[in-house]
Structure 1
Amino acid sequence: MPKQLIAAAPRKAAITTYEDRTVLPHEVKVRIEHASPKHGTDLAGFRGESPHTADYFDDKEGWNLFLPRDPKDMETDGGFGRWNLGNIWVGVITEAGSDVTEYKVGDRVSCYGGIRETHIVNAVNNYYLKKLSEGMSWQNAVCFDPAQFALGGIRDAHVRAGDRVAVFGLGAIGQLAAQLAKLAGASWVAVIDPIAGRREVALKNGADAAFDPLTDDVGLELKKATGKLGVDVVLETSANEFALQQALRGLAYGGTIAFLGWARAFKGGLDLGREAHFNNAKIIFSRACSEPNPDYPRWSWRRIEDVCWEILSSSRINCESIIYPVIPFEESAAGYEKYVDQSPEQSIKLGVTF
């Protein structure tokens, strides 16, 4: 029987078996070659700490705020024991239903889904079942999701040619944001992260300077590097209050901070009575999939997705060093626990190969 990676209990992953079913006329079956999980959004759920457990965000009835769930609607087990961990996979079609015309056996494709040996997916008008272009790396394909939020931040912050930009946090979104800032015409991009390996990857991929927030006064260093002016734009992806404080220190007067990270409750380290009060900072909360897009109707989440896939498939940015480490599927349970949950400083975005 084929195998998959699941969340067995809070902070515990496991490999279990599952049964494949018959492929329907509108579906294809894919043998998975590579996959990658999320490192941010899913982690609270894996730890059993998701804010969506007791509350839900109401965007259907127009409230646009968190409201308490009806106790009878709560999922008391958190999905543990059946939650297939993972975000995006890459594989080869091995079987195609009779109604499928856009794909054929042998096509190399990518889609959203968990880390498992096979996937059976709809292949008729399925926007998310993507064909990989000739020469496209699997690492670029599995970065489709974080690339959307990086590009959303670039657009929301209005990064323009000649701007000086600082990127705080060098997980997958921050790494991609640094490359996309250069692609957008930024003249100077600084990256900030306490993990040396992540800074080295960003520098290798085109960043101009890197700072360690554990040893550097980052705000002051950004001012020094820009002749006291400060950076025009900050892309804050770490969702850390100390990072936001340093971003406010290093920002130019009237500059913009795009806050991309999914934050938890701040417990200290942020003082809005200091630089934020004097320097006319603008903070924009950026989430690429929130609709309507700030530039609606010209832009939408779908347009961001289209542009990201084109950039990734044409190799205009490089994700090969962002997918690190890459481990075999047989080690994915222990690897997920270690690299995603327990020791994230030893990874950027985990890759799994079959």
Structure 2
Amino acid sequence: MATCLVLTAPRTLEFAVTEHRPLRDGEVRLRTLVSGISHGTELNLYRGTAPFATRSFDPQLRVFVPSEESSRTAKLGYDLVGEVVEVGPGVDGVAVGDILHTGQAHQEEPIVALDAHTDFYPPCKLPRTHVERGLFVSLASVALQAVHDARIKVGDAVVVSGAGVIGQLVAQLARMNGADPVAVVEPHAERRNLAVRLGAAEALDPTAGDQPIGYQVKKALGNRGADIAIETSGTYPGLHGAIASVGVGGTVVAAGFYQGGAADLRLGEEWHHNRPNLVSSMGVWGCPHRDHPLWNRARIARTVVDLIYSDRLVVEPLLTDRVPFRQAPKAYERLDNDPASALKIALTY
């Protein structure tokens, strides 16, 4: 029997048996090889701090409304790599033995509808080698979306707030896009050192010294603000620091999943005085790419797969831990207590 991981209440994970049914037209069955835990979205759902804990999103009005179904169980995960073990009728271009990345939740034997419309993380074929690289397709898609939303020009000074997986990928992609210099803001020394090894010109500690991080960034950039700040930490201090780091009329791209109130976001300070542009970077939930129809989720995914497997986007150092699938609850508990204890945790099957 195949199983999946289910969140039944905040900080409560259980394993459930999945239905083993015949495949329908256009479907394939996978044997999961590895799946990755997201520090942002998944931990927010795990903790019960995401808005979905008490509300649901009305897709027509595009507003959150109170929900009586807030206590329903949920599956976690959206970065899964598996081998095709069965092909249903009407499937073309995918064969048994192929390796696919899909935005499926953590589970042993997912069924994937290849032709179903999705604006989340569409299934895409991967090379047969370096399977674990496929764990970064979804997060690299988030990073590429943020860089596209930033509209980076050659020579732009860019600061990346947060050096988790998405921040590390954003810093690399910003440099590919012509940003120079790229600075990273991150409180943890190991992550700062990794960002520099991967090409960042500066890696600043927002907790060091007597001056706020906006001041530190501007001094490091020659007494001027960054042209663009991309905020990936999903924290309000990080967002406030990103706003304070850009010059007059600069751009701040918010790529994090922010939770709750915003006591640390003081809009009467640099926001009010420097008139920056704040851009929400969101490529799912029915939000088309800003260059749609030229770009969409499928093209984003194909692009990051090409970048990762051609060694232009470096991901291997970002995978720091491997945990058996059956020990997933302990992995979530660990990240809940100490998010900085790992960059990317892979669940192995």
1:277 aligns with one of 249, 272, 276: 272
Question: What is the TM-score when the length of structure 1 is the normalising length?
Answer: 0.87
Aligned to 1:291: 287
2:80 aligns with one of 68, 86, 89: 89
**Alpha-carbon deviation of 1:177?**
0.8
Q: CA 1:294 to 1:107, structure 2 compared with 1: closer, same or farther past 3 Å?
A: closer
Aligned to 2:97: 106
Aligned to 1:198: 191
CA distance in 2, matches of 1:272, 1:50: 23
**Residues 25 and 100 of structure 1 are in contact (CA less than 8 Å); yes or no, is this contact kept in structure 2?**
yes
CA distance in 2, matches of 1:156, 1:24: 38
Contiguous gaps of at least 5 residues in structure 1 = none
Residues 126-176 of structure 1: CA distance to partner in whole angstroms, max 9, x if unpaired?
8833211254x3343222222222222212221111111111012222121
Contiguous gaps of at least 5 residues in structure 2 = none
Residues 213-267 of structure 1: CA distance to partner in whole angstroms, max 9, x if unpaired?
1224422221122110121110011232222232233212221111111212334
**Residues 48 and 78 of structure 1 are in contact (CA less than 8 Å); yes or no, is this contact kept in structure 2?**
no
Q: Does 1:324 align with 2:332?
A: no
**Alpha-carbon deviation of 1:24?**
4.1
Question: What is the TM-score when the length of structure 2 is the normalising length?
Answer: 0.88
CA distance in 2, matches of 1:140, 1:319: 7
Q: CA 1:54 to 1:351, structure 2 compared with 1: closer, same or farther past 3 Å?
A: same
Q: CA 1:141 to 1:218, structure 2 compared with 1: closer, same or farther past 3 Å?
A: same
Aligned to 1:349: 344
CA distance in 2, matches of 1:138, 1:19: 26
Aligned to 2:66: 68
Aligned to 1:238: 233
1:256 aligns with one of 236, 246, 251: 251
Residues 303-345 of structure 1: CA distance to partner in whole angstroms, max 9, x if unpaired?
4344333323433201222223222223222112212x22211
Q: CA 1:66 to 1:126, structure 2 compared with 1: closer, same or farther past 3 Å?
A: closer
What amino acid maps onto 1:181 in structure 2? Answer: A
Q: CA 1:28 to 1:184, structure 2 compared with 1: closer, same or farther past 3 Å?
A: same
CA distance in 2, matches of 1:305, 1:123: 14
Aligned to 2:127: 133
Q: Does 1:221 align with 2:212?
A: no
**Alpha-carbon deviation of 1:212?**
1.5
Which secondary structure state, in structure 2, belongs to the residue aligned with residue 227 of structure 1?
Answer: coil
What amino acid maps onto 2:161 in structure 1? Answer: F
CA distance in 2, matches of 1:327, 1:316: 27
Residues 31-65 of structure 1: CA distance to partner in whole angstroms, max 9, x if unpaired?
111111332223333223332344333341xx333
CA distance in 1, matches of 2:7, 2:187: 29
CA distance in 1, matches of 2:128, 2:160: 31
- Aligned residue pairs total 343
Aligned to 1:55: 55
Q: Does 1:308 align with 2:301?
A: no
**Residues 6 and 76 of structure 2 are in contact (CA less than 8 Å); yes or no, is this contact kept in structure 1?**
yes
**Alpha-carbon deviation of 1:19?**
4.7
What amino acid maps onto 1:96 in structure 2? Answer: V
**Residues 32 and 80 of structure 2 are in contact (CA less than 8 Å); yes or no, is this contact kept in structure 1?**
yes
Q: Does 1:13 align with 2:13?
A: yes
CA distance in 1, matches of 2:30, 2:283: 29
**Residues 28 and 84 of structure 2 are in contact (CA less than 8 Å); yes or no, is this contact kept in structure 1?**
yes
CA distance in 1, matches of 2:91, 2:299: 25
CA distance in 2, matches of 1:124, 1:302: 12
How do 1:119-198 residues align onto structure 2 when only pairs under 5 Å count? 119-123=110-114, 128-133=122-127, 135=129, 137-198=130-191
Residues 79-131 of structure 1: CA distance to partner in whole angstroms, max 9, x if unpaired?
1xxx3332121122222234333122211222121222222223457883321
**Alpha-carbon deviation of 1:277?**
2.8
CA distance in 2, matches of 1:55, 1:19: 28
**Residues 43 and 332 of structure 2 are in contact (CA less than 8 Å); yes or no, is this contact kept in structure 1?**
no
CA distance in 2, matches of 1:274, 1:317: 36
Moved more, 24-33 or 169-178: 24-33
**Residues 162 and 231 of structure 2 are in contact (CA less than 8 Å); yes or no, is this contact kept in structure 1?**
yes
Q: CA 1:159 to 1:142, structure 2 compared with 1: closer, same or farther past 3 Å?
A: same
Q: CA 1:271 to 1:28, structure 2 compared with 1: closer, same or farther past 3 Å?
A: closer
CA distance in 1, matches of 2:291, 2:24: 40
CA distance in 1, matches of 2:117, 2:54: 33
CA distance in 1, matches of 2:251, 2:176: 19
Q: CA 1:118 to 1:222, structure 2 compared with 1: closer, same or farther past 3 Å?
A: same
